[in-house]
Amino acid sequence: MKRILIVEDEKDIAEAIEYNLAKEGFRVLKAYDGRKGMKIAQERLPDLLILDLMLPGMDGLDVCKTLKSDPKTSDIPIVMLTAKSEELDKVLGLELGADDYITKPFSMRELMARVKTILRRYEEGKPSGGESVVKFESIIMDINRHELKVSDKAVELTAKEFALLRFLIENRGRVFSRERLLDDVWGVEVAIETRTVDVHVRNLREKLGRSGKHIRTIRGVGYKFE
């Protein structure tokens, strides 16, 4: 049974989400403030986190950033649920590693559908035995361990940076638009600026050092790995 953690300070909303998730067969964990939610996520390792942005103690963006920077919790998919609907908030949340962004008021049916879609995508993305290492020259990615080495040195990546690099290497030589990368790597259907892809590419290039040259910008089109 999949475990979903809800971190939401409005108890009526948290309970409504809990009720609908339970109806869909999920096991639900709850927290009403950011620090408690982060502690539960670190200790219980839920299959997905529904995270409000405006939280007492520690806001949702800080919770997201902390979890995504820790290898132990970086693979936990996060759906941000908040009253903030500005474009900048969406982009920032996705840049920090969130998988989706839903604004209040929201449709409970839509939330359930997105939760299922994200869980299915993560399940399909897991290696099923066989080849679990992706290599290109000095770059070695261990998919099972979620580890990256460049020239035999460990490099820390966020979950989205790891997914983006893996996608580009496995499809090296092909050019992808920013919109296509958002769809294939982020899997989001919300209207966000494509600059979130540019930010992740810039971060990847910096972390890869000399190997970052393999991620090429195709002016007016997008990116490719070669």
Kindly report, residue by residue over 9-53, the tens digit of the pLDDT. 999 999 999 999 999 999 999 999 999 999 999 999 999 999 998
* Mean pLDDT along residues 196-212: 89
- Is the pLDDT reported for residue 206 higher than 70? yes
Q: In what order do the strands lie in the sheet with 3-7?
A: 27-31, 3-7, 48-52, 78-82, 100-103
What are the residue ranges of helices labelled H in the chain?
A: 11-23, 34-44, 60-68, 87-95, 108-125, 159-170, 178-181, 195-208
| Structure confidence at residue 126 (pLDDT) | 55
Q: Judging by beta carbons within 10 Å of its beta carbon (0-12, 13-18, 19+), is residue 75 exposed, middle or buried?
A: middle
pTM: 0.66
The CATH number assigned to the domain with range 133-225 reads 1.10.10.10
Domain 3-125: give its CATH architecture: 3-Layer(aba) Sandwich (3.40)
Residue extent(s) of CATH 3.40.50.2300 domains in the chain: 3-125
Each residue of 67-115: pLDDT tens digit?
988 878 888 889 988 776 666 666 777 777 788 888 888 889 989 998 9
DSSP single-letter state for residue 83: S
Is 216 strand, coil or helix?
strand
* CA 13 and chain centroid, separation: 23
Each residue of 104-154: pLDDT tens digit?
888 899 899 989 888 887 776 554 444 578 888 889 988 777 788 998 899
Residue extent(s) of CATH 1.10.10.10 domains in the chain: 133-225
| Structure confidence at residue 72 (pLDDT) | 84
| Structure confidence at residue 192 (pLDDT) | 54
Q: Judging by beta carbons within 10 Å of its beta carbon (0-12, 13-18, 19+), is residue 29 exposed, middle or buried?
A: middle
